[in-house]
Amino acid sequence: KAGVTQTPRYLIKTRGQQVTLSCSPISGHRSVSWYQQTPGQGLQFLFEYFSETQRNKGNFPGRFSGRQFSNSRSEMNVSTLELGDSALYLCASSLAGGEGYFGPGTRLTVT
Amino acid sequence: QQQVKQSPQSLIVQKGGISIINCAYENTAFDYFPWYQQFPGKGPALLIAIRPDVSEKKEGRFTISFNKSAKQFSLHIMDSQPGDSATYFCAASEWAEETSGSRLTFGEGTQLTVNP
């Protein structure tokens, strides 16, 4: 069974730009969660989607948004990028929530 | 704020030794406690998990010990190997009835080095 895939794996953007990251969950998994990982703040929850609906949201500004499609694939978008948004963005999937099976992440660098 | 405190920050163990990582939590509504292993350049991999109705769970060389009254849980790695060198994260989640969803709250991570 294929694992969670994330694209792109690496991304370099300039301050003020926006970015879209993609996540394909494990086949059959309907819950997709997004996390930000930085050396200073560790792993922090961004949001969770289930059946195309956001049902949990972390403490991040509105510049961070996401969506989920009918095939459970998910995208997250960050608008008006700031230097502090540089991080590893991780997607995790699960059948209905709870345990998370993580993808390899997208390394975002904002210059 | 819901928090999970993890210690130590770093740990050096000799090959064949026992690695022990501890976590403490505050939110008594947490009902799922997984441990993750992360290698450089990779995403966290689910290692082992426990629910609060059991005090211990063992899978191969990995054991979780859970103390509900103390609100603490720990990961024991028996016969530690150089290949176990990685960063380990404890986490906790609570099933939120109002959203029918959950979110993982992570500890700060422990950098484990197993010397040959």
Task: Please list the pLDDT of chain A residue by residue as tens digits (111 residues).
Answer: 689 999 999 999 999 999 999 999 999 999 999 999 999 899 999 999 998 999 889 999 999 999 999 999 999 999 999 999 999 999 999 887 777 899 999 999 999
Per-residue DSSP letter, B17: S
Give the pLDDT confidence score for residue A85 in this predicted structure.
97
Contact A97 B101 (CB under 8 A): yes
Predicted local distance difference test score (pLDDT) of residue B103: 85
pLDDT value at position A16? 97
Residue A79 confidence (pLDDT): 96
Q: Strands B72-77 and B62-67: what pairing?
A: antiparallel
pLDDT above 90: residue B14: yes
Q: Is residue B1 pLDDT above 60, yes or no? A: no
SS (H, E, C) B27-90: CCCCCEEEEEEECCCCCCEEEEEECCCCCEEEECCEEEEEECCCCEEEEEECCCCHHHCEEEEE
Pick from A87, A86, A100: nearest CA to A15: A86
Q: How far apart are the first and last CA of chain B?
A: 40
For testing the chain A interface, which of B38, B97, B104 should be mutated: the one with the most A CBs within 10 Å?
A: B104
Q: Using CA atoms, how far apart are residues B19 and B17, in angstroms rounded to an integer? A: 7
Q: Taking residues B59-86, report their average pLDDT.
A: 97
Both tokens of residue A81?
């990028």
Q: What is the DSSP letter of B102?
A: -
Q: Exposed, middle or buried, B73 (CB in 10 Å: 0-12/13-18/19+)? A: buried
| Chain B CB contacts of A90 below 8 Å | 43-44
Least CB-CB distance to B101: which of A4, A48, A92?
Answer: A48
Q: Is the pLDDT of residue B5 over 60?
A: yes
pLDDT at site B96: 66
Mutate to test the interface with B, among A99, A101, A107 (most CBs of B within 10 A): A99
Of B43, B89, B102, which has the smallest distance from its Cβ to A105's Cβ? B43
Give the other-Cβ count within 10 Å of A108's Cβ. 20
